[in-house]
Amino acid sequence: MSDSVFDDAVARLTRIGEMTGCSSQVINALSHPNAMMHVNVEVRMDDGHIHYFPGYRCQHNHVLGPTKGGIRFHPDVDAAEVQALALWMTLKCAVVNLPFGGAKGGVSVDPKALSPMELERLSRAYVRAMADFIGPERDIPAPDVYTNALIMGWMMDEYEKITRVKNPAVITGKPIALGGSLGRDDATGRGAYLCIKELQKRDCLTPEETTVAVQGFGNGGYHVARLLAEDGYKVVAVSDSQGGIYRSEGLDIKSVYQQKQEHKELKAIYCDGSVCETREHDTLSNDELLTLDVDILIPAALDSVITTDNANGIKARYLVEIANGPVTSDADAILKDKGIIVIPDILANAGGVTVSYFEWVQNRTGYRWDKDKVRDELHTVMSNAFNQANELVQNKGLDFRDAVYAVALTRLSEGIEAHGTPDYFNGG
Ligand code: GLU
């Protein structure tokens, strides 16, 4: 892997861009984020002292529209990670053809160590620090790792207090009562599920004979596991940051979820609670989960979990990336040589930002969509994007990741080159 996760993201973009005939002007433009804000978020802690948390917001590229992307609260957040995540948002919005560029924000904090009131003060302080940088027609945040609808509601409220107007379109992923969209809660998992349904059609998969392992049981991982299990897929393993569970006959995902809600970690399932009493599970580590002999592996936690160190051990036939950046760029070739079909993050997890777009549209028009409309539109967007990439896979012999990047880079190139190319300015 390159020096930083951002360098690594640029390395992959450059490799695929050059291979698919993208101009150096475009690759250069996408290698340089438009703007980066670094603040120290000032929060009065419950014991009275003031703590300063490093906070970031990167607006990567706004050629196709205002920038869009989540805000994460995690101890590992740093400038390079935020920039990589923002670059992936630019590509993601282009893959599903949304009128947005990419952005990402984050605070370096362990949110589980904060009290509820400290968490609210941190969320509001972040918006106070960023209020001039974001806006419904400039840059629109959303949830990401360890942020949720409640936090988006606080952030919207703080922004509205500052601007003194109702402005729900400044942020998406809000509670429904405050202008959120129906169907946003499970949209990331549903988007990945829709990709797998397209694969099912294309490769004639039989759900009952197809095994699945999911690393990460947050918003994305839980919903994709639930939807696949409802369709008869055998979800044999799931994990969270504490560890994982395995059951060869398949897990009852809804009970696992209930247990996790009660005990806050999957490990608790082994030792008490009804699921543990009635069914047998084996425990396994997050690393072991990645190398299970399953048909579909879904990394749905953090970036850089599959590297040159463990890529050779991956046995799955399909790798569906719900996490952003779970595979380092130098591991791509290993997975390709092994014939593993990778549905990349910028397509597989694009359901979240797609329904965020629907939320923004509803807020701006003042007209609410019902859940069926949200789901129908999401289905259309995801299957169009999947099939566009699949056409390049079938007709141009690209692998799936390269094909998805090619779809995004074509749209971005049209936007960037509409302002002129070196040939034009040289009179060529
Ligand atoms: N954080 C999500 C992502 O990485 C959602 C972004 C959004 O809804 O704007 O795609």
CATH number at residue 278: 3.40.50.720
- Residue 330 covered by a domain: no
Report how far ligand 1's centroid is from the alpha carbon of 324 (Å).
10
Which of 67, 82, 88, 89 most suits a substitution to test ligand 1, by most atoms within 8 Å of the C-beta? 89
- Helices 400-417 & 371-396, crossing angle to 10 degrees? 100
Could you tell me which residues come within 8 angstroms of residue 183 by beta carbon, excluding any fewer than 6 positions away? 190, 355, 358, 371, 374, 375, 378
| Other beta carbons within 10 Å of 195 | 27
Domain limit, last residue, from 140, 171, 202 = 171
Structure confidence at residue 236 (pLDDT): 97
- The answer to whether residues 216 and 108 belong to one domain is no
Torsion sign across C-alpha atoms 9, 10, 16, 22:
positive
144 pocket-lining for ligand 1 (C-beta < 6 Å): yes
In a domain, 227, yes or no: yes
Can you list the alpha helix ranges (DSSP code H) found in 272-337?
A: 274-278, 286-290, 332-337
* Same-domain check for residues 232 and 281: yes
**CA-closest residue to ligand 1 atom 8:** 353
Residue 311 counted as domain residue: no
Shared domain for 157 and 210, answered yes or no, is no
- Torsion region of 265: left, alpha or beta (phi above 0 gives left; psi -120 to 50 gives alpha): beta
Quick one: 219 and 162 in the same domain?
no
Q: Residue 185 C-alpha to ligand 1 middle, in angstroms?
A: 12
Residue 221 placed within a domain: yes
Pick the last residue of a domain from 281, 301, 321.
301
Query: In 3-state terms, what secondary structure has residue 205?
Result: coil
Note whether 262 and 160 are same-domain residues.
no
Q: What is the pTM of this model?
A: 0.95
Residues comprising the chain, all counted: 428
Q: Are residues 119 and 42 in the same domain?
A: yes
Count of helices and strands (H, E) across the chain: 17, 13
Look at residue 262 in the predicted model and tell me its pLDDT.
82
Q: Residue 354: enclosing H or E segment and its boundaries?
A: helix 350-365
CATH of the domain at 118: 3.40.50.10860
Determine whether the shortest distance from the Cβ of 147 to ligand 1 is under 6 A: no
**Domain co-membership, 54 together with 157:** yes
Atom of ligand 1 nearest to the CA of 68: 9
Model pLDDT for residues 255-308, shown as the tens digit of each residue = 999 988 887 665 544 334 333 333 567 899 999 999 999 999 999 998 999 999
Instruction: Note the pLDDT of residue 89.
Output: 98
Residue that is last in its domain, among 279, 301, 323? 301
CA distances from 286 to 306, 327, 376 (A): 11, 15, 34
For residue 11 and ligand 1, the question of a CB distance below 6 A is answered with no
CB count in 10 Å sphere of residue 58: 29
Q: Which residues are catalytic?
A: 104
Atom of ligand 1 lying closest to residue 184 CA: 8
Ligand 1: which of 144, 171, 174 to mutate, judged by most atoms within 8 Å of the beta carbon? 144
317 alpha carbon to ligand 1 midpoint, in Å?
A: 27
Whether 90 lines ligand 1, by a CB cut-off of 6 Å, is no
Residue numbers in the chain where pLDDT is lower than 50: 268-278
The atom of ligand 1 lying closest to the CA of 144 is 1
Which residues, in sequence order, are CB contacts of 335 under 8 Å at separation 6+? Answer: 306, 311, 314, 319, 327, 342
Which residue's alpha carbon is at the smallest distance from atom 9 of ligand 1? 69
Q: How many domains does the chain have?
A: 2
pLDDT of residue 266: 56
**356 in a structural domain:** no
> Are 132 and 194 in the same domain?
no
Please name every residue paired with 319 in a beta bridge, in sequence order, or none if there are none: 297, 342
Give pLDDT, residue 265.
Answer: 61
356 lines ligand 1 (CB under 6 A): yes
In a domain, 15, yes or no: no
Reading the block at residue 334, the tokens are 């290993």
In terms of residue numbers, what domain contains 93?
33-171
Indicate if 144 and 60 belong to the same structural domain.
yes
Tell whether 254 is covered by a domain: yes
Note whether 51 and 153 are same-domain residues: yes
Q: Please tell me the predicted confidence (pLDDT) of residue 260.
A: 85
**Domain presence at residue 17:** no
Can you tell me the distance from the alpha carbon of 153 to that of 316, in angstroms, rounded to the nearest whole number?
39
Annotate 143-172 with b (16+ C-beta within 10 A) or e (fewer). Answer: bbbbbebbbbbbbbbbbeeeeeeebbbbbb
Distance from residue 202's CA to the centre of ligand 1 (Å): 27
Give yes or no: residues 53 and 167 share one domain.
yes
Residues 194 and 101 in one domain: no
